[in-house]
Structure 1
Amino acid sequence: MTALQVLPKIRRDAVDRPRRRGSVSATQRRAAWLMVAPAGLHALIWIAVPVVATFVLSVTNYSVLEPLRFVGLGNYVTAFADPVFQASIVHTAVYTFFTVPVAMAIAVFLAVLLNLQIQARSWYRAAYFLPQVTATVAVAMVWLQIYDPQNGLANKVLALLGITGPAWLADPGFALPSVIVVGIWQGIGIKMLIYLAALQNIPADLYEAAALDGANGWQRFRRITLPMLRPATFFVAVVSVISAFQVFDQVYVLTEGGPANATTMMTYEVYKSAFVNFQMGLACAKSVVLFVFLFGLTLLNRTLTGGRDED
């Protein structure tokens, strides 16, 4: 075989080789589907089916004890006409408005401090993150003791300053701020961890160059740290807002929505409609309203981040 005969064969092999390397055989394809099947089945049974059922039941009078009957948008009209549910939307928005930015600001401050070379840095990181991995019910029980009007730590500290402390969880004027404080305290840990990871990805050369240019600590923080933390901030903000809209455990343990519905939240109203009043259709309608809020927040996140993932 001459060189002229061999050359076309080499060219064909060079063209065919990438295609053969990138091709997927039927066996590999079946193996891939088998590996994906458990997760897909889980998502179908425990996510997709309940979501579809929620939308379907939200337009019925489903109450477990009565025959199913289509009521159209009646549940939504009932929900929005209920002053308690209206108040729950306001309380959830207020809770989110205060817990998210305050916790984020504290988390940034702590992350910057814990990114420095200080003694027992790992211990401090674990201590601040501990509330995040502690059961919310356990956290709420601790704060229930702190807020005790007779023997609670909060009023004892105020007594040392000559101030008579209020009945934190029994006073409508103090109940919601008290729940907000618990939400801020428990949410700092995960936000701090995310910011800490983002800080460690900032090149040290930027700070060194800024220091050579005469920038002080505040200028370096404002001109370098904050802009470089922007992607983490978008992520933390959206996740935190979604989490705040789903607050339930601490409200259930601390106040049960009281006093006088002063701390009732959207999720707590869904719980009461479903498992106290057994109005499952109404509960599903309220769940759909909550879903719309969360879906809107997700779209807002995509808008703020340019509507695309970073490469």
Structure 2
Amino acid sequence: MRVYLLLLPALLTILVWQYVPLVRGSLMAFCDYKIMGDSTFVGLDNFAALLFDGRWWITLWDSLRYSCLTLALTFLPPVALAIGLQEAPCCRMLFRLLYYLPAVISGIVTMVLWKQFYEPSENGLLNRVVMNIPAIGFLGIGLLLFWLCREFARRLRFHGRRGPMLLFLGAGLLLLYTAASPALPILFPGGAAWPEALTQLPHRLFDCTREPYRWLADPSTAMAACVIPVLWAGIGPGCLIYLAALKGIPNDYYEAADVDGATFLDKILFIVFPMLKPLLIINFVGVFIGSWVGGTQMIMVMTGGSARTKVTGLYIWYEAFTFLRYGSATAMAWTLGVILIGFTVWQMKILARVEFKTSGR
């Protein structure tokens, strides 16, 4: 009995601040809710209106774009950084501290800091860096990323893994295009004819862009610009989690791989990734859901939803607290919640078939 009395304050707190708003929100989704005055019960009209709301589908598509960018830029880089830190010959503690420091900075400070970095003039920090990189530099970065993906694909082809091989090749082509795209306006100016552009191509390889980038106003860069601060702040904690998991892989596996003549890439593909598979699936679910729920604050501070960055969470916020349409906003929130719950259940079914193993130490 004493145990229940001790738990009662915590249970009441969860009930009042979690489940009561949840139930009240469920009822609001079926009403034309008014803050002052009587609310009208409208049944499923709020949910039916979503089917014909073009802005809702556009924001859902933009949320998917934001989620894919978040997964591409923030999911695997901590794994690569953890592997690099494990192989670092010295100063490992210093590097871990440096990579973790951005995580202790307040979120609003991170947003404001990066918004200053994205200043759309020659004085912006990011523009100062990018405007001094020649076209050949962008091409070199793209070719380096493509070569790295091609090496992974080559090892997978050697082991008969055709599906993952094609995935790495596709990722390499995408990285090549993304990294090399800033060089295209330099190499092929819009007003130049093709014969003249091809003639001047060798000379333009060492030219730099003269126009500063409008990072947060250009629809082609605004979404990625909102994701990069998330990567900067989150790569450190994610790296430490993966680094701790790498310490649990027995050295016997690496020694057996060396005896079989495995390369460094083979060890990553067939030892590190299989051993980290449960952790990768759990983090994948967390990153995916977080990208749909947690991107609202960053985008609101960075762009306010302009330049094709109005994600679903921001649209719901505007609908509720700007236009005071609480009923439709709650219906949108429930629809989004059902989508995310369905994805989570699907991932949990996959995770249920995964075997968790330890190194025995």
TM-score of the superposed pair, with normalisation by structure 1: 0.84
Spell out the pairing of 1:198-237 with structure 2 (5 A cutoff).
198-237=245-284
Higher alpha-carbon deviation: 73-82 or 241-250: 73-82
The structure that has the greater radius of gyration is 1
Deviation at 1:308, TM superposition (A): 8.3
Give the conservation status (yes or no) of the 8 Å contact 1:132–1:190.
yes
Aligned to 1:12: none
Deviation at 1:154, TM superposition (A): 1.6
Deviation at 1:157, TM superposition (A): 1.5
Give the 3-state SS of the residue equivalent to 2:78 in structure 1: helix
Runs of 4 or more above 6 Å deviation: none
Give the 3-state SS of the residue equivalent to 2:241 in structure 1: helix
In the alignment, the residues of structure 2 paired with residue 287 and residue 205 of structure 1 have an alpha-carbon distance, to the nearest angstrom, of: 49
Higher alpha-carbon deviation: 35-44 or 277-286: 35-44
In the alignment, the residues of structure 1 paired with residue 109 and residue 257 of structure 2 have an alpha-carbon distance, to the nearest angstrom, of: 46
In the alignment, the residues of structure 2 paired with residue 137 and residue 82 of structure 1 have an alpha-carbon distance, to the nearest angstrom, of: 32
Specify whether residues 158 and 101 from structure 1 end up closer, same or farther in structure 2 by C-alpha distance, changes over 3 A only: closer
Specify whether residues 80 and 197 from structure 1 end up closer, same or farther in structure 2 by C-alpha distance, changes over 3 A only: farther
Give the conservation status (yes or no) of the 8 Å contact 1:273–1:283.
yes
Does residue 251 of structure 2 align to residue 251 of structure 1? no
**Alignment-mate amino acid for residue 313 of structure 2:** T
Aligned to 2:186: none
Q: Residue 306 of structure 1 is aligned with which of 330, 341, 352? A: 352
In the alignment, the residues of structure 2 paired with residue 171 and residue 102 of structure 1 have an alpha-carbon distance, to the nearest angstrom, of: 19
Deviation at 1:117, TM superposition (A): 5.0
Deviation at 1:192, TM superposition (A): 1.7
Does residue 154 of structure 2 align to residue 183 of structure 1? no
Identity %: 30
Does residue 203 of structure 2 align to residue 156 of structure 1? no
Deviation at 1:289, TM superposition (A): 1.4
Q: Deviations over 1:237-294 (max 9, x none)?
A: 00000100011111110011113xx101111112111111111112211110121122
In the alignment, the residues of structure 1 paired with residue 250 and residue 2 of structure 2 have an alpha-carbon distance, to the nearest angstrom, of: 42
Q: Residue 4 of structure 2 is aligned with which of 9, 29, 33? A: 33
**Alignment-mate amino acid for residue 230 of structure 1:** K
Aligned to 1:285: 331
**Structure 1 vs Structure 2 CA RMSD:** 2.0
In the alignment, the residues of structure 2 paired with residue 116 and residue 159 of structure 1 have an alpha-carbon distance, to the nearest angstrom, of: 34
Spell out the pairing of 1:1-311 with structure 2 (5 A cutoff).
30-116=1-87, 118-150=89-121, 151-161=123-133, 162-163=208-209, 164-246=211-293, 247-259=295-307, 262-306=308-352
Deviation at 1:309, TM superposition (A): 8.7
Specify whether residues 154 and 117 from structure 1 end up closer, same or farther in structure 2 by C-alpha distance, changes over 3 A only: closer
In the alignment, the residues of structure 1 paired with residue 266 and residue 26 of structure 2 have an alpha-carbon distance, to the nearest angstrom, of: 51
Give the conservation status (yes or no) of the 8 Å contact 1:100–1:184.
no
Give the conservation status (yes or no) of the 8 Å contact 1:91–1:264.
yes
Q: Deviations over 1:179-223 (max 9, x none)?
A: 133333333233222211211111122112222333222222211
In the alignment, the residues of structure 2 paired with residue 84 and residue 165 of structure 1 have an alpha-carbon distance, to the nearest angstrom, of: 31
Q: Deviations over 1:45-95 (max 9, x none)?
A: 111111111111111111313411101112123334332222111111111
**Alignment-mate amino acid for residue 126 of structure 1:** L
In the alignment, the residues of structure 1 paired with residue 38 and residue 356 of structure 2 have an alpha-carbon distance, to the nearest angstrom, of: 51
Structure 2 unmatched runs, 5+: 134-207
Q: Deviations over 1:11-46 (max 9, x none)?
A: xxxxxxxxxxxxxxxxxxx12212332332222111
Give the conservation status (yes or no) of the 8 Å contact 2:29–2:330.
yes
In the alignment, the residues of structure 2 paired with residue 265 and residue 239 of structure 1 have an alpha-carbon distance, to the nearest angstrom, of: 18
Aligned to 1:17: none
Higher alpha-carbon deviation: 87-96 or 73-82: 73-82
Give the 3-state SS of the residue equivalent to 2:280 in structure 1: helix
In the alignment, the residues of structure 1 paired with residue 306 and residue 258 of structure 2 have an alpha-carbon distance, to the nearest angstrom, of: 53
Specify whether residues 216 and 173 from structure 1 end up closer, same or farther in structure 2 by C-alpha distance, changes over 3 A only: closer
Say how many residue pairs are matched.
280
Deviation at 1:169, TM superposition (A): 1.0
Give the conservation status (yes or no) of the 8 Å contact 1:154–1:165.
no
